[in-house]
Structure 1
Amino acid sequence: MTHPNPRPGDGDQPQVALSWLEHYTYCPRQCALIVLEDAFTDDAATTRGTLLHQRVDTPGNRGRGTIRTLHALPVWHDGLGLTGTCDTVELHDNGTILPVEHKSGRYHPGGPADVQAAAQALCLQHMFQQPVPHAAIYSAADRRRHTITITPELHQRVEAATRAVRQLLTTHQLPPPTTDNRCRRCSMATTCIPTILTRTRPYQHALTDLYTLPDEEPTYP
């Protein structure tokens, strides 16, 4: 999914993009760098994702048997202040509405993709005024679709992530880096520089040296 720049809503709260929920759930600092500094960086994995989405992000609708498939459908939720675009939405003849989020990587149960897909389901439920109890995540790496149930717990995760992202938009403060296994898989590691920032003393020394005049003796904390 693309990274839209939502405008403030009718109220005082700024709108939150669906894709930001996944970024925040994966890593709050990654989300903040994207949202506050427009610092998104591509790598091989994100490029594969972009190429995958080119197949499904063309707006339109198609019929296949008893299923009507909508692509690149704009969605929103006024109450939560969410906005974004669903990769695919299936409308079944029995009234079932199923959002399908496409991912290039492997699916991890309970992971960030679940939060994004659940948020899409909540938006569709709000728009169509009927229950949307499930969402699906298609993993290109797994070559299969994974269906998730929108449980109350998952609903709460969506709401919590939405509040947290909105807090970032309000405070404009970057969270500290996590510096764990996620960093090795993150395309934004060179922008975030987590290893340097978490080694506080060497980082402070480097800053002190940077702003010390040649005839001055550096004073380290």
Structure 2
Amino acid sequence: MSTCGVFEKNDMKLKLTIFFLTFSSILFSQELKTIQAVQRTDSEFFDYEDYEAPDKPIGELIFLKGCSWYCGGSVKSINASSELKENNEINYSPKNAHDFNKNTAWIEGKPDFGVGEFIEYCFDFNEIKGYKGGLGINRILLANGYKKNKQIWENNSRIKQLKVYLNDKPYAILDLLDSFEIQTIDIGEIKFPANRETKLKFEITQVYEGKKHKDTAISLLMFDGIGVH
């Protein structure tokens, strides 16, 4: 009986095994890019409603007062994997992370620190008449934790690291600062094409633990970008 056919089959299996192992090695060696947040100051992004005099502000602090990327850009919808239950008529909806208000926050709803929970933004500009593309984002503006006041911020947990998915595909790792003031992250240019939704998902992978609560919060996760001015 000839063993030639058996050797050929074994040789083919060996080649396929080597190919698979080589491909897997290359695939897993391609690590996601890690982007470090940059410390900024609140005064760069917040301003009072008005002033009686140069040194006498009136009203509440407003985030991104005046013209910004939001003069033309917008987010269609925001969802999250979970949210903390409403308490004393205060809600912790994912929309709070994009409401220009530092006194509200999205807080994940799991009993632990929320590792694995996510918030997802959907962009869609089909309702803009004649939109042919051109709008996009290149920077995240972030208020980490529950920024209502310093004590609340310290008592609740903050995000240490986020994994970003672009249209459900891993895009980058964001290393965040444990800072009460605003931080920014340059994430590269992400353009929003016509006739298609674009999704950005931010998954919690590490946290800074709060003094009293495991609940992990984020007050603002907003954007700067291109195609507006």
Does TM, scored on the shorter chain, surpass 0.5?
Answer: no
Highest RCO, 1 vs 2 (Cα 8 Å, sep ≥ 6): 2
Per residue, is there more strand in 1 or in 2?
Answer: 2
Question: Larger Rg: 1 or 2?
Answer: 2
Could you say which structure has the higher helix fraction? 1
Into which bin does the TM-score normalised by the smaller protein fall? 0.3 to 0.5
